[in-house]
């Protein structure tokens, strides 16, 4: 490694030849720009045509757009495709990765499904890498300026995954200094679950089956925080084709992941109580029924309905009603196990999925929950409101026909309890 560091000039020249010029494009279903970032179009197309709402075709010369248009359309069909494309006259070689941009919870989506709202493309100009002639050597100072000003965290890794060169952006993203990174294995800061998630791609890269790849990785920065990033890798070879080192780029996507997680939470949880909503709960219930049918797992479904809740809203107002629902949600969550799933199905109706319990255990829990709900005291100023609830349950085992049938049985059991309280016939 010392020889490689001493030979910084040779490594830097190789890195300059391999450092990609990236163009990132987010587009909609009509192949119009949503967002564009990168410098590649300054040489290959019309940067002024990259504004939001403009057609992709208008931003590229016809000789460029014709061979790459099928890749963009494939993304709209849900496909992920990568390809090297030479433009007319062999003037530019483009490495293009295009995939769908999926959105969950869209109006047209079925439960648990996502809709392709557009696509995301990353285009790299790899012409220099594919030319048989070598680029003329560039002065050391020119490389240092380009390398240091690269907006993405960029560096060279040896074949064992140790950093040989890193730029300022990489230090800022990871929180480590230059001296701390040089010689350090990148895998040493990667989240344990993601250390080997690119093993197959690296194998194909070394074998010449891939020219580059991208993958999401989580890593720990210098402060110990978990960061999500896009890890892009290409390979530099010597004149005889033997692997020399990797070109690696790291792009922090933590903010995007946090936004995705937040949107996913909003789509799957009740905004008033924070519990699972009906859509997510029914998905969990279907999974449990499938496990019970296949493996004989036992479980129970409980339906909990607050008694005479309409009177609470009518006499005390909806603000008190909302406070009551939140109090009941907290009480149920505290009483149950971490493995139990609690949901608000809608209105004043809750549901609980109890894995690995039989009918006898479910009966005990149902009685317990019926006592827990009245313990929720809601302050009315000069009085306390104590709600009550009716609880019914159904056992889930290998004989269950469907999740819908289990929910109907639990609902019937709950209404039987409610009728018994009022003296109505069953």
Catalytically annotated residues: 348
How many angstroms separate the CA atoms of 281 and 299, rounded? 14
The answer to whether 206 and 235 are in contact (CB under 8 A) is yes
DSSP string, 10-31: HHHHHHHHH--EEEEEEEETTS
The first and second tokens of residue 387, run together, are 């709600």
- Give the pair of three-digit tokens for residue 187: 């895998």
By C-alpha distance, which of 410, 371, 162 is closest to 285? 410
Provide the 3-class DSSP secondary structure of residue 415: helix
Specify whether the CB–CB gap between 284 and 278 falls below 8 A: no
Strand 384-385 to 389-396 pairing: unpaired
**What is the Cβ-side half-sphere exposure of residue 420, based on CA atoms within 13 angstroms?**
10
Q: Which residues contact 101 (CB under 8 A, 6 or more apart)?
A: 26, 75, 116, 117, 118, 119, 120
| Number of neighbours of residue 267 by Cβ within 10 angstroms | 15
CA–CA gap between residue 261 and residue 274 (Å, rounded)? 14
Three-state DSSP class for residue 35 = strand
The residues facing 217 across adjacent strands are 229
CA distance 200 to 203: 5
Residues 166, 249: contact at Cβ < 8 Å? no
Length of the chain: 426
DSSP state of 113: -
Long-range CB contacts for residues 404-413, cutoff 8 Å, separation at least 24: 406/285, 406/289, 406/301, 407/282, 407/285, 407/301, 407/303, 407/351, 410/301, 410/302, 410/303, 410/351, 411/303, 413/303
């Amino acid at each position: 490694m010392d020889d490689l560091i001493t030979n910084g000039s040779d490594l830097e020249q190789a890195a300059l030849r391999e450092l990609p010029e990236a163009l990132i494009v987010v587009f909609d279903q009509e192949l119009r720009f949503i967002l564009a970032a990168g410098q590649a179009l300054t040489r290959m197309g019309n940067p002024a045509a990259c504004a939001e709402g403009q057609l992709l075709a208008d931003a590229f010369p016809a000789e460029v757009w014709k061979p790459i248009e099928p890749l963009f359309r494939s993304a709209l069909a849900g496909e992920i495709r990568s390809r090297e494309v030479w433009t007319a006259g062999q003037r530019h070689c483009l490495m293009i990765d295009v995939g769908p941009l999926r959105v969950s919870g869209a109006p047209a989506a079925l439960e648990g499904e996502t809709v392709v709202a557009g696509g995301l493309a990353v285009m790299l100009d790899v012409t220099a890498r594919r030319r048989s002639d070598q680029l003329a050597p560039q002065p050391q100072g020119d490389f240092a300026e380009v390398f240091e000003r690269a907006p993405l965290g960029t560096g060279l890794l040896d074949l064992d995954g140790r950093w040989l060169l890193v730029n300022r952006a990489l230090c800022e993203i990871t929180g480590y200094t230059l001296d701390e990174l040089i010689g350090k294995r990148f895998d040493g800061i990667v989240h344990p679950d993601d250390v080997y998630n690119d093993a197959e791609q690296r194998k194909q890269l070394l074998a010449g089956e891939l020219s580059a790849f991208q993958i999401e990785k989580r890593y720990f920065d210098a402060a110990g925080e978990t960061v999500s990033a896009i890890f892009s890798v290409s390979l530099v070879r010597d004149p005889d084709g033997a692997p020399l080192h990797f070109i690696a780029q790291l792009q922090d996507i933590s903010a995007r992941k946090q936004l995705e997680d937040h949107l996913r939470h909003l789509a799957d949880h009740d905004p008033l109580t924070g519990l699972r909503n009906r859509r997510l709960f029914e998905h969990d219930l279907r999974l449990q029924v499938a496990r019970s049918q296949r493996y004989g797992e036992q479980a129970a479904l409980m339906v909990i309905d607050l008694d005479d809740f309409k009177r609470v809203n009518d006499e005390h107002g909806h603000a008190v009603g909302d406070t009551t629902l939140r109090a009941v949600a907290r009480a149920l969550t505290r009483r149950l196990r971490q493995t139990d799933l609690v949901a608000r199905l809608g209105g004043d109706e809750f549901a609980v999925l109890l894995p690995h319990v039989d009918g006898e255990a479910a009966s005990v829990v149902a009685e317990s929950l019926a006592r827990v709900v009245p313990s929720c005291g809601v302050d009315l100023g000069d009085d306390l409101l104590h709600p009550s609830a009716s609880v019914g349950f159904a056992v889930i085992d290998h004989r269950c026909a469907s999740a819908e049938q289990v929910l109907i049985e639990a609902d019937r059991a709950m209404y039987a309890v409610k009728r018994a309280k009022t003296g109505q016939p069953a």
